[in-house]
Amino acid sequence: MRKGTKSLAAAISVLLLCSIVATGCGDKISVTKVKIGEVTRSVFYAPEYVALEKGFFKEEGLDVELQTTFGGDKTMTALLSNAVDVALVGSETSIYVYQQGSEDPVINFAQLTQTDGTFLVARQKSGTFAWDQLKDSTFLGQRKGGMPQMAGEFALKKQGIDPHQDLELIQNIEFANIAAAFASGTGEYVQLFEPQASIFEKEGKGHVVASFGVESGHLPYTVFMAKQSFIKKNPETVQKFTNAVQKAQTWVAGHSPEEITDVILPYFKDTDRDIVISAVKRYQEQGTYATDPILDDKEWNNLLDVMDSAGELKNQVAHEAIVDNSFADKAKSSSK
């Protein structure tokens, strides 16, 4: 056999061998695509971005496509219409769907944050802050029925303030425009997420004086959820997804705000690194980032109390009705 013929035969043999190996190992290298709709882009969701940037989803064989759906109602619409497979949004939205008598309820399967993520920002800084200072003031709050507003009102009531009687409450401004409204002169106090709160402090437009996350306690504030039909059809995918979330939560818990910032900064290209560090540090210090994906009964019952206080809960919804911790339990156990 001539040299060229031998080389060709060898090449064909290698290709055939590769084909056999690929076929035999197909299940091991298969990748499943999962579409996530996040309710907003926020430092509040740092573990999600860590899972993406550190390759934890890829390690589980998942090709995750992330899109920001801007608002709880829009996020839930995207999930119910199958525009996304998994939603990252407040658990109250799953309760609203359940209360409407859905035949395919939305199930909470992996918790990401466990406190409210907003801070009370005052336009003027005047010595030691006391909650009574809000009385007779103009307070720029969040959208009615959303978790930020409900948790905010819950915190005010704990401090002896009736948000609808003791102050002028503004809650008809779109989420995306709240910071701009305050910056333009509306309100003496505003309820803001990070990194906007830290940006306002740096620019001298406001001062963080209290945390609604600390005041309202542990809540299933932001959770990965999917339709019951999707979970039943794709249990292995949901488990892999939850495993990746647990890996990210463990990583975040073991690293500094600076290290976390350097990983997630590509998602906040228009924000100064120092601002992101400040925001991550605040959330870490108050225990906002859940250290595992489990949504427990105590957190759930606190959520129901918050919704009931806001007049948004029609009936009590049992924890087991729309929470499935089986994936989170397994992910936590396997991470040890």
Q: Could you tell me if residue 24 is inside a domain?
A: no
**323: helix, strand or coil:** strand
Q: What is the pTM of this model?
A: 0.88
* DSSP state string for 93-148: HHHHHHHTT-SS-EEEEEEEE-S--EEEEESS--SS--GGGGTTSEEE---TTSHH
CB 145 within 8 A of CB 175: no
Average pLDDT over every residue of 28-34: 83
pLDDT classification of 10: cutoffs 50, 70, 90: very low
CATH number for the domain spanning 238: value is: 3.40.190.10
Return the closest-CA partner of residue 310 out of 141, 130, 114. Answer: 141
Tokens of 17: 């061998």
Q: Could you tell me if residue 134 is inside a domain?
A: yes
315 DSSP 8-state letter: S
- Angstrom distance (rounded) from CA 274 to CA 253: 20
Cis peptide bond upstream of 195, omega within 30: yes
Residues 239 and 97 in one domain: yes
- Give how many domains the chain has, as a whole number: 2
Which tens digits make up the pLDDT trace of 283-311? Answer: 999 999 999 999 999 999 999 999 999 99
Average pLDDT over every residue of 90-111: 96
Q: Could you tell me if residue 16 is inside a domain?
A: no
Residues 233 and 245 in one domain: yes
Residues 289 and 327 in one domain: yes
Q: Could you tell me if residue 62 is inside a domain?
A: yes
Tell me, rounded to whole angstroms, the distance of Cα 86 from its chain centroid: 12
Q: Could you tell me if residue 21 is inside a domain?
A: no
Residues 328 and 287 in one domain: yes
Which tens digits make up the pLDDT trace of 192-223? Answer: 999 999 999 999 999 999 999 999 999 999 99
- pLDDT at position 71, please? 87
Percent of the chain past pLDDT 70, that is, above it, reads 91
Residues 248 and 201 in one domain: no
Q: Could you tell me if residue 25 is inside a domain?
A: no
- pLDDT at position 307, please? 96
Residues 81 and 226 in one domain: yes
> Taking 60 as the threshold, does the pLDDT of residue 4 lie above it?
no
- pLDDT at position 16, please? 37
**CB contact set of 25 (below 8 Å; sequence gap of 6+):** none
Residues 227 and 104 in one domain: yes
Identify the residue whose tokens are 């390759």.
Answer: 55
> Taking 90 as the threshold, does the pLDDT of residue 14 lie above it?
no
- pLDDT at position 29, please? 56
- pLDDT at position 125, please? 85
Q: Could you tell me if residue 17 is inside a domain?
A: no
Q: Give the residue from 216, 238, 254 where a domain finishes.
A: 216
pLDDT classification of 28: cutoffs 50, 70, 90: low
Residues 69 and 129 in one domain: no
> Taking 70 as the threshold, does the pLDDT of residue 89 lie above it?
yes
| Lowest mean pLDDT across 5-19, 78-92, 218-232, 314-328 | 5-19
Q: Give the residue from 185, 216, 247 where a domain finishes.
A: 216
pLDDT classification of 159: cutoffs 50, 70, 90: very high
Average pLDDT over every residue of 60-76: 95
Which neighbouring-strand residues pair with 64? 34
Q: Residue 122 is part of which domain span? A: 118-216
> How big is the CA angle at 300 (ends 295 and 306), to the nearest 5 degrees?
140
For helices 257-264 and 273-285, angle between their N-to-C axes, nearest 10 degrees: 130
List strand residue ranges (DSSP E) for the chain, in order: 32-38, 62-68, 86-89, 106-113, 118-122, 138-140, 168-170, 189-193, 207-211, 222-227
Q: Could you tell me if residue 235 is inside a domain?
A: yes
The dihedral through the CA atoms of 309, 313, 317, 319 has a sign that is negative
Residues 148 and 183 in one domain: yes
Average pLDDT over every residue of 264-283: 97
- pLDDT at position 311, please? 94
pLDDT classification of 145: cutoffs 50, 70, 90: confident
Residues 237 and 109 in one domain: yes
- pLDDT at position 335, please? 86
- pLDDT at position 94, please? 97
Q: Give the residue from 160, 183, 216 where a domain finishes.
A: 216
Residues 44 and 161 in one domain: no
Residues 109 and 231 in one domain: yes
- Angstrom distance (rounded) from CA 152 to CA 157: 9
Tell me the CA distances in angstroms from 1 to 12, 14, 244, one per residue in order: 15, 18, 53
